[in-house]
Amino acid sequence: AQSVTQLGSHVSVSEGALVLLRCNYSSSVPPYLFWYVQYPNQGLQLLLKYTTGATLVKGINGFEAEFKKSETSFHLTKPSAHMSDAAEYFCAVKGSSNTGKLIFGQGTTLQVKP
């Protein structure tokens, strides 16, 4: 069975500071991992995904994440936070069932202070 744990339900950074959102996963099969962002009253937008190959994945808006199998982690980072990055972030793993459903973490609210 697959599961995702996001450490820290709320992260606050200053504008221009490093953003680090933590995600650990559990998977019985090689994982497909995703990071999504959600703005208020909107759906989810894909930031990046890891399937196979290079473990450092670059996404949109300057975000990147590194797949570390030994640590079962897929942390999301951005070197310099912008005010517009304030949102809810979800880490997800694709389930191993035939339906291919995504299993989401609890979410992390990112606050960016001026």
Partner 1 sequence: GAVVSQHPSWVICKSGTSVKIECRSLDFQATTMFWYRQFPKQSLMLMATSNEGSKATYEQGVEKDKFLINHASLTLSTLTVTSAHPEDSSFYICSARDQGQGNYGYTFGSGTRLTVV
Binding stretches for partner 1 (CB under 8 A): 32, 34, 36, 41-46, 49, 51, 90, 94, 99-102, 104-107, 109
What minimum distance in Å lies between the beta carbon of 107 and partner 1? Answer: 5
3-state secondary structure 26-76: ECCCCCCEEEEEECCCCCEEEEEEECCCCCEEECHHHCEEEEECCCCEEEE
What minimum distance in Å lies between the beta carbon of 99 and partner 1? Answer: 5
Q: Nearer Cβ to partner 1, position 70 or 98?
A: 98
Whether residue 11 contacts residue 21, with contact meaning beta carbons closer than 8 Å, is answered with yes
**3-state secondary structure at position 20:** strand
The distance between the two most distant Cα atoms of the chain, rounded to a whole number of Å, is 45
Q: Nearer Cβ to partner 1, position 7 or 102?
A: 102
Q: Nearer Cβ to partner 1, position 52 or 70?
A: 52
Q: Nearer Cβ to partner 1, position 18 or 29?
A: 29
What minimum distance in Å lies between the beta carbon of 95 and partner 1? Answer: 9
The span from the CA of 49 to the CA of 112, in Å, is 24
Instruction: Using the structure block, give the residue that is written with the tokens 């001026």.
Output: 114
What minimum distance in Å lies between the beta carbon of 73 and partner 1? Answer: 19
